[in-house]
Amino acid sequence: MARHIPGPLYYEQQGATGTPMLFLHSTPDDHRVWLYQTAHFSSWYRTIAVDFAGYGRSPAPQPGATIADQAAACWEVIDRFTAGGAIIHGNSMGAQVAVHMVAQQPERALAVIISGTGYPPPTAPMIRLMQRYRDEGLKLRYEQILEHFSPAGQAHPLLQYYARMVTELDNVSTLDSIIAMNEALSHPAPEEFYRKLAAPFLILCGTLDRSHAGAIEMQKVIKGSDFRSIEDAGHACMIERPWDYDRHCIEFLATLGLFPG
């Protein structure tokens, strides 16, 4: 069992066969931020979307939980399906968990697609959010989810509906868990950690994402990584412009011989 996580993570699977494809969400979202990709890619892969400890239906993390602990718990999910490799998607916090998964078991990371992240990982915004959640409580969650979209996306009824859907699952441990993960994210790994990552990486970023400049820098520190922009998308580009996100992923996986379509 992963340290500081008292039980297996909740996950939802689509596709009965194929290479496992794992989806790791941002904070304060849950696994449903990947609702388009888990449906689409299940045509070819066994798609698995997890709720991190403290989010959705997963158990709350214990004090001291780290991003590396979440990564170890995600490998435990993969272990339920295979002792071999997996394709990993991660957005924002999920991207940080993804890179820790690579560091822990690089031989099993067939391909890694990260979005909504950059280098160096921001620390000051995490500290500010941590304090805001302490002051304002869970009402901040809906606002933060909407801020992951472009200005036009924030006004769209479908994305507002998505934000309401996620926050309606709030429970007694959700607030403490979000604060705990913001605390964990405020202590990023050093540059050498990223330079040692050994896996095929695709870095995607919306042009309206605050992380866009940092995503370009991240390509420079992750050896051999590829970078592509998604026009007019914000932080959660996979749900705001899924047709572009999926197209870039398919092209990337095809170059690696990992796209059976």
Q: Which of 145, 1, 144 is nearest to 62 (CA)?
A: 1
At residue 5 the predicted structure's pLDDT band, cuts being 50, 70 and 90, is very high
Q: What is the pLDDT of residues 93-150, one digit of tens each?
A: 999 999 999 999 999 999 999 999 999 988 999 999 999 999 999 999 999 999 999 9
Q: Which domains does the chain have, with CATH numbers?
A: 11-255 (3.40.50.1820)
Residues of the chain with pLDDT > 90: what percent?
98
What is the pLDDT averaged over residues 244-253?
A: 98
Q: Which of 193, 174, 157 is nearest to 68 (CA)?
A: 193
Q: Which helix (H) or strand (E) holds 194?
A: helix 191-195
pLDDT exceeds cutoff 90 at 193: yes
Q: What pLDDT shows up at residue 122?
A: 85
Q: Residue 15 region, left (φ>0) first, then alpha (ψ -120 to 50), else beta? A: left
pLDDT exceeds cutoff 90 at 14: yes
What's the order of all strands across the beta sheet hosting 201-206?
A: 11-14, 46-50, 20-24, 86-91, 109-115, 201-206, 226-230
pTM of the predicted model as reported, rounded to 2 decimal places: 0.98
